[in-house]
């Protein structure tokens, strides 16, 4: 049995529990992976530890009725997140607390603790890898465990591992794409006549937007993702403050209409390039011609093109935000660790 401690029980944590509950049997039959959540710790949703594994359907039903995981009838309650990591006996810690691109906390402390205790870590939290990927990967290597972050960029749509693992043997000289779902959703809705504030509220309700949506609309979320891709795929050592940044708060319906009259769409484009061995990165709105495939990536869809020496351009398009989509990225990392 592979034992998982789930740290964070917001949109992604709950979706991960639901997807795992639906896939548990399939994972066992197809991959031989017998995965069980043995502990959950959420900032405002309580904590629960059941060493023999939590019955997920039961947990989710009782959570829906009561709003806390502590309504589950058995198990140890009331531990904090660090105690949960230490005492759960888990092999894998799935860290899905909220992103903080300034301090990386509380995720950074959770991940350091788990890796130093010899536990594999999977995270969708962009703060720790954007601020300290090399340190955390080093800590994982020292302790003989894995640190996997597929769902930090484009949720479950392959992005990090596509560049790092699948394209191995190619040199990635740069990348360009739409890697924030919330801003792409807002820009698409604005083109259809939707108001900025109402659309942002909708994106929050759908679970796409960050807890503080400034993280999306001012470009910080895309900056975090650019840093993660540049550092993991291109071997760079960028910090979020190294990335030139402009969000979409200055984009008006008039600008969108003007672009449309010239057969263009405004998109928040994230990119990085290498020149003379130096990697530079940028996030900013750009007018993209309708003949460019990126112009037709709308709503919460994301797209990413890697520019490589061998295969030239390799593009992936898919869903890049949302609880279920992110949960699938976590599941793919879980299977990769198990393999
Ligand atoms: N807020 C992010 C987005 C979530 O809108 O893309 C996925 O990282």
Q: What is the DSSP string of 98-139?
A: PP-TTT-TTHHHHHHHHHHTT-EEEE--SHHHHHHHHHHHHH
Give the dihedral sign, CA 203/81/220/271: negative
Cα of 8 vs centre of ligand 1, distance in Å, is: 17
Ligand 1 pocket mutation pick from 181, 226, 319 by most atoms within 8 angstroms of CB? 181
Tell me whether strands 264-275 and 278-289 are parallel, antiparallel or unpaired. Answer: antiparallel
3-state secondary structure of 337: helix
pLDDT at 38: 98
pLDDT at 180: 96
pLDDT at 213: 86
Cα of 163 vs centre of ligand 1, distance in Å, is: 19
Model confidence at 211: pLDDT above 80? no
Mean pLDDT of 302-323: 95
Cα of 228 vs centre of ligand 1, distance in Å, is: 14
Give me the CATH topology for the region 162-319: Dihydrodipicolinate Reductase; domain 2 (3.30.360)
pLDDT at 50: 98
Mean pLDDT of 202-209: 84
Q: What are phi and psi of 238, to 5 degrees?
A: -85, 155
Which residue has the CA at smallest separation from atom 4 of ligand 1? Answer: 321
In tens, the pLDDT along 239-292 reads: 999 999 999 999 999 999 999 999 999 999 999 999 999 999 999 999 999 999
Q: Which atom of ligand 1 is nearest to the CA of 203?
A: 5
pLDDT at 207: 79
Mean pLDDT of 111-120: 98
> Which CATH class, in words, describes the domain spanning 2-156+323-338?
alpha beta
Q: Enumerate residues lining ligand 1, CB below 6 A.
A: 155, 180-182, 208-210, 216, 221, 320-321
3-state secondary structure of 255: helix
Percent with pLDDT over 90 in the chain: 92
Which residues of the chain form CATH 3.40.50.720?
Answer: 2-156+323-338
List, in order, residues 6 or more apart from 97 with CB less than 8 Å away.
7, 8, 10, 43, 81, 106, 107, 110, 125
CA nearest to 13, candidates 33, 40, 32? 40
Mean pLDDT of 291-314: 95
Q: Which atom of ligand 1 is nearest to the CA of 215?
A: 1
CB 295 within 8 A of CB 265: yes
pTM: 0.95
CB atoms near residue 73 (< 10 Å): 9
In tens, the pLDDT along 15-71 reads: 999 999 999 999 999 999 999 999 999 989 999 999 999 999 999 999 999 999 999
**DSSP letter, residue 97:** P
The CA distance from 85 to 113, in Å, is 8
H or E, element range at 232: helix 220-233
Cα of 142 vs centre of ligand 1, distance in Å, is: 31
List active site positions: 225
The CA distance from 285 to 265, in Å, is 10
pLDDT at 199: 86
Q: Could you give the strand order of the β-sheet that contains 301-308, starting from the edge strand earlier in sequence? A: 244-245, 278-289, 264-275, 172-178, 301-308, 313-319
In tens, the pLDDT along 120-158 reads: 999 999 999 999 999 999 999 999 999 999 999 999 999
Confidence of residue 196 (pLDDT cuts 50, 70, 90): confident
Q: Which atom of ligand 1 is nearest to the CA of 321?
A: 7
Confidence of residue 200 (pLDDT cuts 50, 70, 90): confident
Which residues of the chain form CATH 3.30.360.10?
Answer: 162-319
- Cα-Cα-Cα-Cα dihedral of 155, 158, 160, 161, to 10°? 130
Confidence of residue 197 (pLDDT cuts 50, 70, 90): confident
pLDDT at 16: 98
CB 338 within 8 A of CB 33: yes
In tens, the pLDDT along 222-242 reads: 999 999 999 999 999 999 999
pLDDT at 202: 87
Q: Which atom of ligand 1 is nearest to the CA of 152?
A: 8
């Amino acid at each position: 049995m592979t034992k998982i401690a789930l740290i964070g029980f917001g949109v992604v944590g709950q979706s991960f529990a639901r997807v795992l509950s639906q896939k548990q049997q399939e994972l066992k039959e197809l991959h031989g992976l017998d995965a069980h959540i043995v502990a959950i710790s959420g900032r405002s949703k309580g904590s629960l530890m059941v060493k023999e594994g939590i019955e997920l359907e039961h947990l989710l039903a009782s959570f829906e009725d009561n709003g806390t995981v502590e309504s589950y009838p058995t198990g140890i309650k009331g531990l904090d997140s660090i105690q949960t990591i230490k005492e759960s006996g888990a092999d894998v810690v799935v860290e899905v607390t909220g992103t903080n691109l300034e301090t990386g906390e509380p995720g950074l402390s959770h991940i350091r603790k788990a890796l130093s205790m010899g536990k594999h870590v999977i995270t969708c939290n962009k703060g720790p890898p954007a601020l300290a990927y090399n340190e955390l990967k080093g800590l994982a290597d020292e302790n003989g465990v894995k640190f996997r972050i597929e769902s930090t960029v484009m949720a479950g749509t392959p992005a990090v591992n596509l560049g790092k693992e699948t394209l191995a043997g190619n040199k990635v000289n740069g990348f360009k794409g739409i890697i924030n779902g919330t801003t792409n959703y807002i820009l698409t809705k604005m083109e259809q006549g939707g108001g900025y504030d109402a659309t942002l509220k909708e994106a929050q309700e759908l679970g796409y937007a960050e807890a503080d949506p400034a993280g999306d609309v001012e470009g910080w979320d895309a900056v975090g993702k650019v840093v993660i891709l540049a550092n993991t795929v291109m071997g760079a050592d960028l910090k979020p403050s190294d990335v030139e940044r402009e969000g979409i708060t200055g984009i008006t319906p008039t600008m969108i209409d003007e672009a449309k009259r010239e057969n263009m769409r405004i998109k928040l484009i994230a990119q990085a390039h290498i020149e003379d061995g130096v990697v530079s990165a940028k996030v900013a709105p750009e007018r993209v011609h309708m003949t460019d495939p990126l112009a037709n990536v709308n709503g919460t869809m994301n797209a990413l093109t890697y520019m490589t020496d061998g295969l030239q351009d390799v593009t992936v398009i898919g869903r890049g935000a949302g609880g279920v989509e992110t949960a699938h990225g976590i599941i793919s990392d879980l299977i990769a660790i198990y393999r």
